């Protein structure tokens, strides 16, 4: 009998010990890092980004992560609400979740409602109001920083520091350009907004290290968004003579009318860029050079933040999500910027470090709309009241070889793409819900999407099936007219 009591006592102590472990398990913190216009491939193997590559090796990198819409404001509104774009919703670069779907609880607001301290630094939502109800404190953006003489910053979002560019940008009138699409300055630190965002993020990490409340800390870096402004030391990492313009610096064969009419107006607003036609090779190489420099500058700042996270011993209990809102064309198909349905625009950077997860590269197709349900799942939060249209990536975080879906849907204005492992199919719809143009690429035989085979007689059955599959993903509210207005 004594032996039985002894066994029961030992077992009871064991259970109490296990219960205490479960009880003491802390909620995960979230470090939410956004990078504007970062390509899924950084821009190529030649791009120097050791900190992001290291972060990738310490977690899961999603090699086939797609933006649901390749334009800043709309993509961010979609990601942060967990809602896909519709024909009229999340359409423009200035799209606002707060205006278009005010009834929806956004991702950071959901964390705030569940006991997290939520902080926004830099560009998270696109619009200036930044969905302020989602945050524990007023979001910090560029107009919250002071100059050395005590004046509030008035550089605008382009953040020029050289006199030439400042003078040009202060004289934007009568169709004049806003300044050069690049800038290089001598500085050992990073004096641009992104450098200040990184410093503020590190300050908050130190503050959080002394408190028990979990945090959702979001920092949004502006670069490599145009203009390509970076300290000279990052430009010096690259030899411009060795930089190559894309091999497919031409329109795809059989390009449909919407593709032929694309004019990359975002870049044409800058000094030295022609209003029509291609840029010359010298300008093309300098633009690519500037993009690389900005990626390396941002990577350096991310390294500083992760180093501080490690120093403060916060890493083991922090989920790190690094994402870009969409990709960027660097001369492919003679295009610059995003705003088009090629994978150079729709494919995004997505890396997740999850303390309980495995490490590796995932080939599974995922979408940025999957981020919201994933964080709710792995942080064990209750689901929000609205339906999340993405799918949790938790299975992939535990096994990078697993898959959660076999297609993504991406939309730019009236062009909607169904992206599968092998094929990328796009249709353009008019207001009468009719298809007026389409394109199909076989990524196995044509990985750079150079030949549109949508009109190939041998592909008619495939086009028909993908057309039906794409329509089935529109959802019941896809064609609903907009119920909001901007600018009033």
The count of other CB atoms within 10 Å of the CB of residue 282 is 9
Please check whether residue 79 is in contact with residue 325, taking contact to mean a CB–CB distance below 8 angstroms.
Answer: yes
Q: Which of 110, 126, 225, 333 is catalytic?
A: 126
126: annotated active-site residue: yes
Our measurement of the distance from residue 416's CA atom to the centroid of its chain's CA atoms, rounded to an integer in Å, reads 19
Give me the half-sphere count of Cα atoms (radius 13 Å) on the Cβ side of residue 460: 2
Mapped onto helix, strand or coil, the DSSP state of residue 274 is: coil
DSSP string, 47-97: S--HHHHHHHHTSEEEEEEE-SSSSHHHHHHHHHHT----SSSS-STT--H
DSSP string, 283-295: HHHHHHHHHHHHH
Please check whether residue 38 is in contact with residue 339, taking contact to mean a CB–CB distance below 8 angstroms.
Answer: no
Residue 126 gets the label, from left (phi > 0), alpha (psi -120 to 50) or beta, of alpha
Please check whether residue 34 is in contact with residue 221, taking contact to mean a CB–CB distance below 8 angstroms.
Answer: yes
72: annotated active-site residue: yes
Beta-bridged to residue 417, according to DSSP, are 410, 426
Helical pair 371-378 and 72-81, crossing angle rounded to 10 deg:
30
| Pure H helices in 117-179 | 163-169
CA distance 16 to 349: 44
Among 123, 203, 205, residue whose Cα is nearest residue 158: 123
CA distance 327 to 292: 14
Pairing of strands 435-442, 415-420: unpaired
Mapped onto helix, strand or coil, the DSSP state of residue 102 is: coil
Among 73, 120, 117, 118, residue whose Cα is nearest residue 98: 73
Tokens of 63: 């090699």
Please check whether residue 72 is in contact with residue 126, taking contact to mean a CB–CB distance below 8 angstroms.
Answer: yes
Tokens of 143: 């107009």
| Pure H helices in 312-399 | 343-346, 371-378, 394-398
CA distance 34 to 123: 8
Q: Which residues are catalytic?
A: 72, 126
């Amino acid at each position: 009998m004594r032996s039985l009591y002894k066994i029961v006592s030992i077992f009871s102590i064991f259970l109490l010990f296990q219960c205490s472990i479960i009880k003491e398990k802390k909620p995960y913190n979230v470090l939410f890092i956004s990078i504007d216009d970062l390509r899924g491939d950084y821009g190529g193997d030649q791009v120097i980004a050791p900190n992001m590559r290291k972060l990738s090796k310490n977690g899961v990198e999603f090699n086939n992560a797609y933006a649901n819409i390749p334009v800043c404001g709309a993509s961010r509104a979609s990601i942060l609400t967990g809602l896909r774009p519709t024909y009229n919703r999340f359409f423009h670069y200035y799209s606002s979740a707060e205006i278009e779907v005010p009834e929806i609880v956004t991702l950071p607001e959901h964390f705030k409602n569940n006991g997290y301290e939520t902080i926004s630094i830099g560009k998270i939502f696109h619009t200036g109001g930044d969905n302020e109800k989602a945050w524990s404190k007023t979001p910090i953006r560029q107009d919250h920083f002071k100059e050395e003489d005590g004046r509030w910053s008035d550089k605008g979002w382009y953040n020029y520091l050289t006199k030439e560019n400042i003078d040009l940008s202060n004289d934007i009138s009568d169709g004049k350009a806003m300044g050069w699409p690049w800038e290089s300055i001598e500085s050992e630190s990073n004096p641009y907004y992104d450098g200040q965002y990184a410093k503020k993020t590190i300050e908050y990490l130190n503050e959080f290290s002394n408190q028990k409340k979990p945090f959702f800390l979001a920092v949004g870096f502006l670069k490599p968004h145009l203009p390509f402004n970076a300290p000279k030391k990052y430009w010096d990492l690259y030899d411009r003579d060795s930089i190559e313009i894309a091999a497919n610096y031409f329109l795809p064969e059989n390009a449909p009318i919407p593709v032929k009419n694309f004019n990359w107006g975002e870049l044409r607003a800058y000094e030295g860029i022609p209003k029509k036609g291609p840029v010359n090779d010298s300008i093309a190489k300098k633009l690519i050079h500037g993009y690389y420099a900005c990626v390396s500058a941002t990577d350096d700042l991310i390294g500083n933040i992760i180093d501080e996270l490690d120093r403060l011993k916060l890493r083991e209990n922090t989920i790190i999500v690094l994402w870009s809102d969409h990709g960027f064309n660097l001369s492919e198909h003679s295009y610059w910027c995003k705003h088009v349905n090629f994978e150079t625009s729709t494919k995004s950077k997505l890396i997740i470090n999850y303390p309980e997860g495995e490490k590796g590269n995932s080939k599974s197709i995922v979408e940025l709309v999957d981020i919201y349900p994933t964080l709710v799942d792995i942080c064990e939060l209750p689901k929000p009241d609205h339906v999340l249209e993405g799918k949790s990536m938790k299975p992939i975080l535990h096994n990078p070889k697993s898959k959660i879906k076999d297609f993504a849907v991406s939309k730019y204005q009236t062009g909607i793409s169904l992206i599968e492992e092998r094929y990328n199919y796009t249709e353009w719809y008019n207001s009468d819900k009719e298809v007026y143009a389409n394109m199909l690429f076989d990524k196995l035989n044509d990985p750079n999407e150079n030949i549109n085979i949508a009109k190939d007689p041998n592909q008619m059955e495939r086009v028909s099936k993908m057309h039906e599959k794409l329509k089935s993903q529109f959802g019941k509210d896809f064609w609903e007219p907009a119920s909001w207005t901007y600018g009033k």
